[in-house]
Structure 1
Amino acid sequence: MVYLFEKGIDRHQNNRLESWEFAKADLIFRLTRWKKTNGFSMSHSLRLSSSWEPLDVKCMEKNGDRYLTSDSSNMKIVDDEKLIGFLNPTDTIRMNKLER
C-alpha cells in the first residue's frame, strides 16, 4: 500500500513540476519549472550542506526556447538539457534532469 501511495505522489509531482541540477565549483544548483504557470525557481546549496538558498529568476518563452533572467545574468535553456550563459555569455552547462 505504501508503494502505491509513493507512486501516486511521484506522479502528482511529475505532472506539476520538472527539475534539473548541475554543479559549479562547490555549489549544486537546482532549477525547477512549475508546469501550470511556466514559472521557474532556482536555488543553490553547498555540496555538503542540506539547506537551499533561493535565487530570483524570471522566465520568458520565445520561439520554443526559454530565457531566464536573474539579477546578474541572462540565460537560455536549450533542448531541456543545456543552460547557456550561467556565469558568462558563452558558458554551456549540461543539466541533469531529476526523475521522481
Structure 2
Amino acid sequence: MEKVAMLTRQNETFALAMIIESKGSTPRHVGKMIVYRDGSIEGTVGGGLAEHYIIEESVKAIQNGQSKIVEYKLNKNAKDGIQMNCGGTLRVFIEVYTSRLNSFWLEPVI
C-alpha cells in the first residue's frame, strides 16, 4: 500500500488488483498486484493463467477509467471456466487510479 500511496502522490495512472474472495483451491487466497498501463506488474494475485487474465482486465479498466470486479472459475471442465486445474473460484476487485491530469482538460487562462 506504500507503493500505491507513492504512485498516487506522483500522479500516476495504474490499477490495484486485489483478491476479495476465493473459494476452494486457488493459487492464493490473499494477494494484491499493481498493474501499469503497459501491463507490467508489481506483486501477485497468484500467477498462472488467472493472473494473466487479471492483468488484461486491469489494462482494459485503466483504458476505460472504470474500476470493476472480475471472477474466474479455475476449472477447465466447468462452464465458463478457464484452463486451470485448481478447481476453485477467484473474485478480484480492480481499482483504477487515474492521473488528475488525465481526469480533466485544463483550459488556459487568458
TM over 0.5: no
Given the two structures, how large is their TM-score scaled by the length of structure 1? Answer: 0.38
Given the two structures, how large is their TM-score scaled by the length of structure 2? Answer: 0.36
Q: For the pair shown, which has the larger CA radius of gyration, 1 or 2?
A: 2
Structure with more helix by fraction: 2
Structure with more strand by fraction: 1
Structure of greater relative contact order (alpha carbons < 8 Å, 6+ residues apart): 2
